[in-house]
Structure formats: structure tokens, C-alpha cells
Chains A and B, each alone.
Chain A
């Protein structure tokens, strides 16, 4: 009895909604901290180092799987709750008056669906490229050596390698006689000995800047991103404090503080997220 009560009942569904929702709020805060590095001038290398850490560190990996699961669970649970809620009123009212509740609280399912669409497109644009794109560029820097400009690959062991010496594939290397070729997207291999000599950074910074500065789609991407953050703000405006109520945490001393914090979180976090593409599109040279 007690076990099924924690999975199937109406209240249990709300616990899970609240629990996954609050975890995703933590994720948002962490994700924001990472993204804000994009606002620091000349920070491409640090940002790419951070991106490498976030995609390879085992602890972060576990955390990211929990995040994927939370998103999926939050969405499925939300859909199930919404279906049940629609069924609970088969015949609607001819006239309704929304004055007794807030816009956000009445539209959490719609707002959530829009956020899910955003998450999917966002993951296709950045996450999938980072994880699977075979043509993901590696980070380079341009230096002047004796009056001549030279492009260098930055390496994870703090070394560097001239891009002119590196072939894209082994076949290309044997044709051109390049000493080094790239294997497995990021690894530098010595052509003759066929041993790994180092590794480059995936240039997520470049991908991100190119995405929001795209001559054709950069502006629309920036606008859609900002709109999505607006949707997120409304979702959080109700969701944050609502999660505490669902978990049974409501008291005359704590609830006003939770509500205030939730409001600040719901407004500040999406604004900070939205500033980044605006900065890249309109200000960054």
C-alpha cells in the first residue's frame, strides 16, 4: 500500500514533479554559472576547458544523466497529470473568470511544453554538436611569429601545434606528408609512429558565437532564445514556490521567504541567461 502510494497517487505525482523541478532549478543555476563565462572577454580557451571538464569528468557525467532523467520524468509526469486533470472536468464552463489564480499557475503545461521544445532544439544546436558532430572545430589561436601570422591548435597538455602541420585524416596525411593527423575528432596522432601525441579542445566557444552571429539566422536565434527565457521565467515564477507547497513545506514563517526567493530566482536567472546571446549578437566583435 505504502509503496504504491509513493508512485501512483495524485500526491505522489506532485512530489516527483516538485522534486525533479527543484533539481532542475539547481541545474539551471549551475548551467548559468558556466554560460556566464561567455561574457568574459578573450575567454575562449577557459570556456572550452570548462566545456571539456563538463563533458568528461565522471562526477559531472553522473550528474548530467540525473539531469536528463529529471527532464524526462518531469515532462512525462506533467503530461500524465495534465491528462488526468482534463479528465476530471469532462464538460467545461460556458463562462470562466481567471481572477482567482495567476496566469502562470493556470498554464504550467503549455509553458512546460514550450520549454521542452526549447530544450530539444538547444541540445541539437549545442549538446549534440559537442558530443557527436564529426566536424566540430578544434580550438586554435593566431600568433605572430617573426611578422608572420600563424594558426596554432591549443592542446590539453598546454602545448600547441601549428595547424599547417596537421592533416584532417590519416589518408590526407599520407598524401601531403603531414607529420600529424587528427583521430577520434580531438586526438593528434603522429603519422609515422601512429601514436597519440596530444589532444585538442573542441571549440564550443566558436560554435556558440557563430550560432548567435550567423548572418542569416543569428538574429532570429537570439530572439527565440530570449523568448524561451521569458517562458522559463513564467514557468519558474509559479513552479519554484509551488514545489515547496507540493512537498508539504508551507508555514507562515517560511513560505513568504520561499515565495520571495522563488520570484527573484525566476526573474534573475532567465535574464542572465538571455543577456548572453544578446551580448554575442549585438556587442561582441
Chain B
């Protein structure tokens, strides 16, 4: 690995005071950014500079900073989570950029993800979809049956696990030309549909989750496959097909 060096970059960042005001792209110059720093650390550095200049720092979402919480978003240079695949923004490093680069940083763009401030968007529409059916009803009174008591074929368990890897970050919606949430909903439907525990509520689950998805104002799937490419957790399009299957089955019941 080559040694870290410092680069100077230009940033074009979406600034928006709050949900009600109109935003615009502002340009910032940031010098001496270590290529070893993460993208979010670079934004921290920018905010330090802005605070020193007595300007409002840029608001952006972040939490675990180890690629698992799904909190960090950011549409960087035209791609969700920036110019790399299989990562979240906190896992994006400045070594992906060159000295003198101009970097666009924009919030997720979707009617269902309204901007709260600057780069922070409200993703509670995902929570409402999850609440509409993304669960199994289990009696948790203390006499819960051991989950491993039910035999599950290994391939099904693996596929369910792969679907369950979805962290609900919203990159699929952000990158989809239609702002469609079908990869997210497909993953959430699949993770239960593949397991015996999920079969009980399968019919209502898929109908309710899709209805909620439509009500939130997400777009439709054109099968471009962009979501699959940009998903930090490698959720496959197979999950959308499985949701389509489940939905057809449920509709005919």
C-alpha cells in the first residue's frame, strides 16, 4: 500500500437550511486532506475549517463509522456512497480521489426522503414500510421456542441471511433513476419469506409492505439493476423477483 499523502480538493456541497427553505450547491476549498482519511473524516475537517471561519458547519448523517449502521448516506460524484462498490460512505477513503479533484456531495434525492438539513434526509419512510409487515409475530412471554428447533434448509437460510444483511441505508432509492425502494422492500420481504417462521404472515406482509411503499411515494422498478451495483451489502435483484412472486401469490389468494 502506498503511503498516505495530502491532497487539495474542491467540494460542491448541497446546503439547505431546513426542510422548508430552498437549497443550493456551495463550493468549498479544502487543503491538506490526508488520503488515509475517510470521506466522513474529510467532512469533519471541512466542518472544523467552517467553524473556525465562523460559518455554519455542514450537517450530514453518520453513526457507527464502520459500515454497519446504515446511517451515513451522501451521493458523491453522481454515485451513492461514492466511487467504490460494496461500501458505505464511512468506508470510502480519500485515496479514491486525486489532488485538485472537484467532488459533488448531495443528499439522497427522493420524494420519500425529504431533506431535513444540508445532507441529512428523513428516512423514516423505510421504518413505516418495516412496521407495515417486516416482522414475525412471536410470543416473547418467556416461553419462546428455540429458533434452532425448526429445521431450515441451508441454502434457504443462507439466502435469507444475505437478504437480512440490508442495513436500510437507502442507497438503492438514491441511485435508482425512479427513486424506487424495491430492493429494500424486496430484501425485507425475502428475509422472512424464505424461512418457515415467516410463512405464517407471508400474504399480509408482502401486500402491506408494498402498499406502504407505494403510499410513501417511491417510484417503480425498471430493472435497471443500478441498486444492486450500489448496494453496500450486495443485496441481489433476485430479492425483487422474489417479492414480485410473493406479491402475485398473495394477490391471487
Chain A residues in contact with chain B, CB under 8 A? 1-3, 5-6, 9-15, 81, 84-85, 87-97, 99-102, 105-106, 108, 238, 241-242, 245-252
- The interface residues of chain B lying within 8 Å CB-to-CB of A3 are 251
Contact call B243/A11, Cβ cutoff below 8 A: yes
Contact call B110/A88, Cβ cutoff below 8 A: yes
Contact call B240/A92, Cβ cutoff below 8 A: no
Contact call B211/A238, Cβ cutoff below 8 A: no
Contact call A94/B106, Cβ cutoff below 8 A: yes
- The interface residues of chain B lying within 8 Å CB-to-CB of A5 are 207, 210-211, 247, 250-251
- The interface residues of chain B lying within 8 Å CB-to-CB of A246 are 221, 223, 244
Summed over the interface, the residue pairs from A and B with CB atoms below 8 Å come to a total of 148
CB distance from A95 to the nearest CB of B (A): 4
- The interface residues of chain A lying within 8 Å CB-to-CB of B25 are 94
Known A-B contacts A2-B252, A90-B111, A93-B75; the reply to A247 vs B226 at CB < 8 A is: no
**Contact among A94, A105, A247 for B222, CB-based, below 8 A:** A105
6 closest A-B pairs by beta carbon, nearest first, are: A248-B245, A97-B78, A250-B241, A88-B219, A88-B179, A85-B178
Residue B242 interfacial (CB < 8 Å): yes
Beta-carbon nearest neighbor of B245 in chain A: A248
CB distance from A9 to the nearest CB of B (A): 6
- The interface residues of chain B lying within 8 Å CB-to-CB of A252 are 238
Q: Provide the main secondary structure of the chain B interface.
A: mixed
Q: How far is the CA of A14 from the CA of B111 in the complex (A)?
A: 21
Contact call A2/B224, Cβ cutoff below 8 A: no
Contact call B78/A9, Cβ cutoff below 8 A: no
Beta-carbon nearest neighbor of B248 in chain A: A248
Contact call A106/B177, Cβ cutoff below 8 A: yes
- The interface residues of chain A lying within 8 Å CB-to-CB of B217 are 87-88
Contact call A10/B210, Cβ cutoff below 8 A: yes
CB distance from B222 to the nearest CB of A (A): 6
Residue B68 interfacial (CB < 8 Å): no
Contact call A85/B180, Cβ cutoff below 8 A: yes
Residue B12 interfacial (CB < 8 Å): yes
- The interface residues of chain B lying within 8 Å CB-to-CB of A84 are 178, 219-220
**Contact among B12, B242, B248 for A94, CB-based, below 8 A:** B12
Residue B175 interfacial (CB < 8 Å): yes
Known A-B contacts A2-B253, A250-B238; the reply to A88 vs B75 at CB < 8 A is: no
Residues of B within 8 A of A (CB-CB), count: 51
Contact call B177/A85, Cβ cutoff below 8 A: yes
Residue B230 interfacial (CB < 8 Å): yes
Contact call A245/B207, Cβ cutoff below 8 A: no
Contact call B177/A95, Cβ cutoff below 8 A: no
- The interface residues of chain A lying within 8 Å CB-to-CB of B110 are 88-89
A-B contact pairs, 10 of them (CB 8 A): A5-B211, A9-B210, A14-B220, A89-B111, A90-B111, A93-B78, A97-B79, A242-B222, A242-B223, A245-B240
Report B103-135 CB contacts with A as 1/0, cut-off 8 Å: 010100111100000000000000000000000
Contact call A2/B241, Cβ cutoff below 8 A: no
- The interface residues of chain B lying within 8 Å CB-to-CB of A251 are 238
Beta-carbon nearest neighbor of B238 in chain A: A250
CB distance from B177 to the nearest CB of A (A): 6
Beta-carbon nearest neighbor of A250 in chain B: B241
Among B78, B177, B237, B243, the one with the most A-chain Cβ atoms within 10 Å of its Cβ is B177
B 154-179 contacts with A by CB, 8 A: 175, 177-179
CB distance from A229 to the nearest CB of B (A): 22
Contact call A89/B224, Cβ cutoff below 8 A: no
Residue B229 interfacial (CB < 8 Å): yes
Contact call B106/A93, Cβ cutoff below 8 A: yes
